[in-house]
């Protein structure tokens, strides 16, 4: 009996130690907890960032990406009012400069990730207007563009037409959109004679519109991205921005 008790006790002790070890290792084996980030992107990024969201979520299945698209300035305004944004991508440097000055982004994470062209477009079933000067013709009644005070594409257009000496001469013909996509829609539906949008937007419209000119006379159209300070998930935001900047 004296030899059996220690043996039984040793077996029970070994079992308890095994259970304790199991309890210690189980948390380490648990899958990563699901999380989410909010990405605010310029309207012209809608197609690209929708594709990137799908690819990113496939690569990081525990992270959900919520996207929010609008003109760059309204997105900035949302952040100023406390919107919980984790990643901000604008269609111009000026808006990102404002976000940085207001400490709404982490400047160390700011990087340019894409560029675009400003183009003139017309409805595909209307006579082509091949130069901005052609917009002076009497039969051209309406020209679509984004609001320069809030839409980067509108600012680029204003700068280009000012450089060409046409901005003031065409004032009576402007139809302003709240975003570059709205300006595109006006041309898509044939409600205007011409419009100014980014090349990527015009290509996304397919055969409904025709690109008739690439417009110069403005600052380069470059897109910056940065981690926003109004969100709460900087870790996953860093993964998303790295994904955007990666070769893929």
Confidence at residue 30, expressed as pLDDT on a 0 to 100 scale:
61
> What does the pLDDT profile of the chain (248 residues) look like in tens digits?
444 334 343 444 344 444 444 444 445 556 678 999 999 999 999 999 999 999 999 999 999 999 999 999 999 999 999 999 999 999 999 999 999 999 999 999 999 999 999 999 999 988 789 999 999 999 999 999 999 999 999 999 999 999 999 999 999 999 999 999 999 999 999 999 999 999 999 998 999 999 999 999 999 999 999 999 999 999 999 999 999 999 98
**CB–CB of 76/99 below 8 Å?**
yes
Separation CA 29–CA 90 (nearest Å): 40
Confidence at residue 126, expressed as pLDDT on a 0 to 100 scale:
85
Separation CA 81–CA 65 (nearest Å): 21
- Looking only at the bridges linking them, the beta strands covering 87-89 and 35-42 are parallel
């Amino acid at each position: 009996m004296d030899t059996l008790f220690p043996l039984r006790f040793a077996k029970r002790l070994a079992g308890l130690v095994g259970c304790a070890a199991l309890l210690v290792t189980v948390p380490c084996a648990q899958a990563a907890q699901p999380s989410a980030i909010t990405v605010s992107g310029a309207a012209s990024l809608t197609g690209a960032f929708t594709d990137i969201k799908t690819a990113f979520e496939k690569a990081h299945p525990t992270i959900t990406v919520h996207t929010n698209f609008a003109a760059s300035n309204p997105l900035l305004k949302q952040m100023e009012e406390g919107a919980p944004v984790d990643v901000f991508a604008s269609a111009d440097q000026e808006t990102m400069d404002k976000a940085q000055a207001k400490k709404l982004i982490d400047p160390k994470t700011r990087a340019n990730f894409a560029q675009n062209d400003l183009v003139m477009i017309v409805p595909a079933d209307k006579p082509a207007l091949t130069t901005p000067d052609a917009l002076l013709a009497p039969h051209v009644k309406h020209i679509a563009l984004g609001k320069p005070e809030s839409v980067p594409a509108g600012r680029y257009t204003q700068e280009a037409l000012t450089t060409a000496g046409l901005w003031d001469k065409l004032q009576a013909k402007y139809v302003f959109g709240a975003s570059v996509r709205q300006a595109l829609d006006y041309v898509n539906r044939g409600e205007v004679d011409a419009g100014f949008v980014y090349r990527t937007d015009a290509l996304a419209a397919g055969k409904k519109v025709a690109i008739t000119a690439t417009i110069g006379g403005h600052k380069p159209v470059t897109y910056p991205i940065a981690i926003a300070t109004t969100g709460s998930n900087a870790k996953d935001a860093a993964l998303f921005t790295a994904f955007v900047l990666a070769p893929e």
